[in-house]
């Protein structure tokens, strides 16, 4: 376990120190939630309705931002070779690395989504539930993005491929996370169910995607 | 956030690598067939590496030196044949027996030398060994707190070599280890290889340069080096 913890901390440190940490996704998120009303229109009743969906969708896009570098940098500088030659199993290693990077880069997003939701007119409770839903969605989103990033590591213009591969797999998380906020807004008791479904998708992603990432890494190394 | 735990092992408490002999570990490859795309690189290649031995892989660009090294490390699956370490499949043993130095150094620019070595010693299980004697032997101890991104290419290579040494693994697979090294660096490399072999370790290195490693076998994969 200490090795996995070391990998988690190291990847968080590398993402924070060398990759700008949370600055990129945070700036993107802030810019997007600021610009969206200019396109949708300033009517409060419209912003109130679209807020959960907008926040979840922007979070999805923010996660995709760093996916290309997650394994691409390691493939280029030889780190993946070294990881493959450790006694730690590659799926565990992939999980630690992906979650470490997600921890360093994505932790402000649920907070910003909560505040952004209230800026769009959401009452505090639905805004908090929306933020909680995004917090629960981050493991799934980051592992899906990591899987796509591992598949295209070292490929030119990999960002386009990552979007094409990852976005369809992110649809369930997007639906459940935004649904939690919407249900809380209208007083529908399905908000808890949506939260649990979001958590379930994340847990399933933790169980499955590390194996896919490991297989993709082995493929890229050969 | 990025700081790893500092290595707080005093040099006088550290076990000396030179005093630790390896358990005998032999690498064998049987009937390897290697290719890159449509190009056949090797057919029916047998290779044996016993404790204390060194092999220098030579050959022209594209002859398959790196592909062979990556096959011996388990990264590349051969078209035919198999690789074993002490009679065990490579997939079960490489993660504990092979020290790898690729053509890139595996360093993160923002990490200091100390952080980088501490991380890999923890992950690769090299044991509680102070890195200072090894860094001193490579003339790199004064740079221990410098970010690796602020080192020269040759210095980065020395740090990558230190990582291989500190992994404390018996089989070293080195891809162009002397590439960016100056004359003094090549001498230090030769000294470390000799020390490793004297402990019962073994080395295979792909190289274009003339390396003065005593008793090293040459394996030419085609053309002239």
Using a CB-CB cut-off of 8 Å, the residues of chain A touching B102 are: 78, 81
- Please report the pLDDT score of residue A126 as a whole number: 92
Restricting to B residues 105-134, those with a Cβ less than 8 Å away from any Cβ of A are 105-111, 115, 119-120, 122-125
Categorize the per-residue pLDDT at B4 as very low, low, confident or very high, splitting at 50, 70 and 90. Answer: very low
Q: Is B76 on the interface with A (CB under 8 A)?
A: yes
CA distance B191 to B17: 14
Contact A213, A166 (CB under 8 A): no
Two structure tokens written together for B140: 């790199």
* Best residue of A85, A217, A220 to probe chain B, by most B CBs closer than 10 Å: A85
**Per-residue pLDDT averaged across B165-193, rounded?**
91
CA–centroid distance for B216 within its chain = 15
- CB-CB contact of A206 with A95 (8 Å): yes
Residue whose pair of structure tokens reads 């847990």 in the numeric block:
A203
β-partners of residue B116 are: none
Residue corresponding to tokens 């398959």: B64
Mean pLDDT, range B179-193, rounded to an integer:
90
Split at pLDDT 50, 70, 90, the class of A93 is very high
State the average pLDDT over residues B7-29. 65
* Model confidence pLDDT, tens digit, residues A139-184: 999 999 999 999 998 888 888 889 899 999 999 999 999 999 889 8
What does pLDDT average to over chain A?
A: 90
Asked if residue B14 lies in contact with residue B130, where contact means CB atoms within 8 angstroms, the answer is yes
Where are chain A's structural domains? 2-221
pLDDT at B1 over 60: no
Instruction: Give the Cα separation of A62 and A32 in Å (integer).
Output: 10
B3 or A85, which is more confident: A85
Q: Report CB contact under 8 Å: B122, A2.
A: yes
The per-residue pLDDT for B205 is 93
Per-residue pLDDT at A136 exceeds 90: yes
User: Of B2, B98, B107, which is closest to A17 when you measure between CB atoms?
Assistant: B2
| A75 touches B: beta carbon within 8 Å | no
User: What domains does chain B contain, in order, with CATH numbers?
Assistant: 24-220 (3.40.50.300)
Whether A85 sits inside 8 A of B1 (CB atoms) is no
Measured distance CA(A20)–CA(B176) in Å, rounded = 32
pLDDT of residue A66: 80
Mean pLDDT lowest among A15-29, A99-113, B65-79, B93-107: A15-29
> Which has more pLDDT, B38 or A9?
A9
ipTM: 0.86
Q: Predicted confidence band at B49 (pLDDT cuts at 50, 70, 90)?
A: very high
Q: What mean pLDDT is reported for chain B?
A: 85
Going by C-alpha positions, the residue among A185, A160, A184, A206 that lies closest to residue A49 is A185
pLDDT at B11: 44
CA distance linking residue B75 with residue B67, whole number of Å: 9
């Amino acid at each position: 376990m200490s090795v996995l913890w070391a990998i988690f901390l190291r990847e968080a440190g590398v993402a924070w120190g060398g990759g700008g940490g949370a600055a990129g996704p945070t700036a993107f998120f802030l810019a997007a939630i600021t610009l969206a009303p200019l396109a949708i229109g300033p009517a409060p009743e419209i912003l109130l309705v679209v807020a959960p969906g907008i926040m979840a969708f922007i979070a999805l896009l923010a996660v995709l931002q760093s996916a290309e570098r997650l394994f691409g940098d390691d493939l280029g500088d030889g780190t993946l070779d070294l990881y493959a030659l450790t006694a730690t199993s590659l799926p565990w290693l992939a999980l630690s690395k992906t979650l470490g990077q997600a921890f360093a880069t994505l932790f402000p997003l649920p907070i910003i989504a909560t505040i952004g939701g209230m800026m769009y007119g959401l009452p505090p409770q639905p805004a908090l539930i929306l933020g909680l839903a995004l917090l629960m969605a981050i493991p799934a989103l980051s592992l899906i993005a990591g899987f796509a990033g591992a598949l295209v590591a070292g490929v030119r213009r990999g960002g386009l491929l990552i979007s094409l591969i990852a976005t369809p797999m992110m649809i369930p998380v997007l639906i459940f996370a935004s649904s939690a906020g919407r249900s809380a807004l209208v007083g529908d008791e399905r908000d808890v169910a949506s939260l649990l479904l979001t958590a379930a998708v994340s847990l399933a992603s933790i169980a499955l995607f590390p194996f896919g990432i490991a297989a993709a890494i082995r493929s890229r190394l050969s | 956030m990025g700081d790893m735990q500092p290595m707080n092992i005093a040099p006088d408490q550290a076990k000396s690598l030179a005093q630790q002999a390896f358990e005998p570990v032999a690498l064998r490859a049987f009937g390897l067939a290697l290719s890159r795309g449509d190009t056949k690189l090797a057919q029916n290649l047998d290779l044996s590496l016993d404790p204390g031995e060194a092999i220098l892989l030579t050959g022209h660009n594209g002859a398959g030196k790196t592909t062979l090294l990556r096959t011996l490390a388990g990264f590349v699956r051969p078209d035919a044949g198999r690789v074993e370490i002490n009679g065990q499949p490579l997939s079960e043993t490489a993660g504990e027996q092979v020290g790898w130095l690729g053509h890139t150094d595996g360093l993160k620019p923002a990490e200091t030398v100390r952080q980088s070595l501490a991380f890999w010693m923890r992950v690769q299980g090299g044991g509680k060994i102070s890195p200072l004697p090894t860094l001193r032997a490579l003339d790199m101890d004064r740079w221990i707190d410098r970010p690796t991104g602020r080192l020269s290419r040759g210095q980065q290579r020395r740090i990558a070599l230190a990582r291989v040494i500190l992994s404390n693994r018996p089989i070293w697979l080195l891809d162009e280890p002397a590439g960016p090294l100056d004359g003094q660096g090549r001498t230090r490399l030769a000294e470390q290889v000799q020390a490793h072999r004297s402990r019962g370790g073994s080395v295979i290195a792909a190289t274009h340069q003339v390396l003065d490693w005593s008793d090293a076998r040459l394996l030419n994969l085609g053309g002239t080096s």
